[in-house]
């Protein structure tokens, strides 16, 4: 059993669920479903000998830790777009290989290089991926996994959002690594936001998180390995390439 499995929470209160939902990505608004089909085809192609993550310029490429061998790249369609493509790359020797790709979503107002609480934009950057959790049982996560009903979205949110947090992977932006994804500690202060996750997609933009289909979340949870020092490289295509 993974060490995170021993952190499973047997019972939670309604208040805990409320506080978790309000501090996490998602949001009560439902802007309507968007057509995601075909976005994966616009992902920069990996060559047979890709020594860099495709579509990522020197500025962010240098921020990928030298020991990282798994990168989740999130290619936002545009600065103000909620649509994105999510691709998992794995390093073999000195080259990066594209493993899987999915259509996804990011902040409903797009992206920012200076994220703040409630701006409805996802932060551009490179962030480690250290912890996972959700409402559902551990599907075989390589990352420490915390199961808790406290992850559940409030039932006054649109029904399409109710399963957003069945599975989540914490994006290490303004959080303490090694804690459950819903830990409320914000080292840079509350104004800088937090609770930014990879989570299940509801068909439209998020408050700041990145969302992917359920099968993608299951695959990422089973595939991401702490020993490979996984990171997410995320942003709109222009900022990624800069």
Burial per residue of 65-88, b for 16 or more beta-carbon CB atoms within 10 angstroms, e otherwise: eeebbbbbbbbbbebebbbbbbbb
SS (H, E, C) 124-157: CEEEEEEEEEECCCCCCCCCCEEECHHHCCCCCC
Q: Let me know: does 75 contact 43? Beta carbons within 8 Å.
A: yes
pLDDT score of 39:
55
Q: What is the pTM of this model?
A: 0.85
Q: What is the DSSP string of 49-89?
A: TB-S-TT--HHHHTTS-TT--EEEEEEES-TT--EEEEEEE
pLDDT score of 61:
97
pLDDT score of 33:
38
Q: What are the tokens at 11?
A: 């019972």
Of 220, 221, 242, 223, give the one whose Cα is nearest residue 102. 220
Where residue 50 falls among pLDDT bands split at 50, 70, 90? Answer: confident
pLDDT tens profile 180-203:
999 999 999 999 999 999 999 999
Cα gap 192→188, rounded to integer Å = 6
pLDDT tens profile 72-85:
999 999 999 999 99
- Supply φ then ψ for residue 159, to 5 degrees: -55, -30
- Average pLDDT value for residue range 56-62: 97
Of 200, 142, 140, 130, give the one whose Cα is nearest residue 170. 130
Mean pLDDT, the chain, whole residue set: 87
pLDDT score of 42:
54
In the chain, domain spans: 56-241
- Average pLDDT value for residue range 212-229: 98
pLDDT tens profile 102-145:
999 999 999 999 999 999 999 999 999 999 999 999 999 999 99
Q: Collapsing DSSP states into helix, strand and coil, what is residue 169? A: strand
């Amino acid at each position: 059993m993974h060490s995170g499995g021993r952190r499973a929470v047997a019972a939670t209160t309604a208040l805990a669920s409320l506080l978790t939902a309000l501090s996490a990505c998602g949001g009560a608004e439902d802007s309507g479903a968007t057509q995601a089909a075909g976005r994966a085809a616009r992902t920069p192609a990996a060559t047979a000998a890709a020594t860099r993550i495709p579509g990522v310029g020197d500025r962010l490429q240098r921020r990928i830790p030298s020991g990282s061998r798994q990168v989740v790249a999130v290619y936002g369609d545009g600065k103000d777009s909620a649509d994105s493509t999510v691709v998992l790359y794995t390093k073999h020797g000195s080259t990066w290989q594209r493993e899987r790709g999915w259509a996804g979503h990011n902040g409903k107002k797009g992206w920012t290089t200076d994220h703040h609480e409630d701006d409805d934009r996802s932060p551009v950057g490179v962030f480690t991926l250290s912890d996972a959790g959700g409402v559902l049982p551990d599907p075989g996560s390589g990352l420490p996994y915390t199961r808790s009903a406290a992850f559940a979205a409030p039932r006054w949110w649109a029904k399409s959002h109710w399963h957003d947090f069945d599975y989540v992977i914490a994006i290490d932006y303004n959080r303490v690594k090694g804690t459950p994804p819903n830990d409320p500690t914000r080292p840079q202060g509350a104004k800088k936001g937090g609770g930014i996750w990879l989570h299940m997609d509801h068909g439209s933009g998020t408050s700041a998180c990145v969302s992917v289909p359920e099968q993608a979340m299951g695959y990422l949870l089973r595939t991401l390995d702490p020993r490979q020092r996984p990171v997410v490289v995320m942003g709109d295509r222009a900022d990624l390439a800069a």
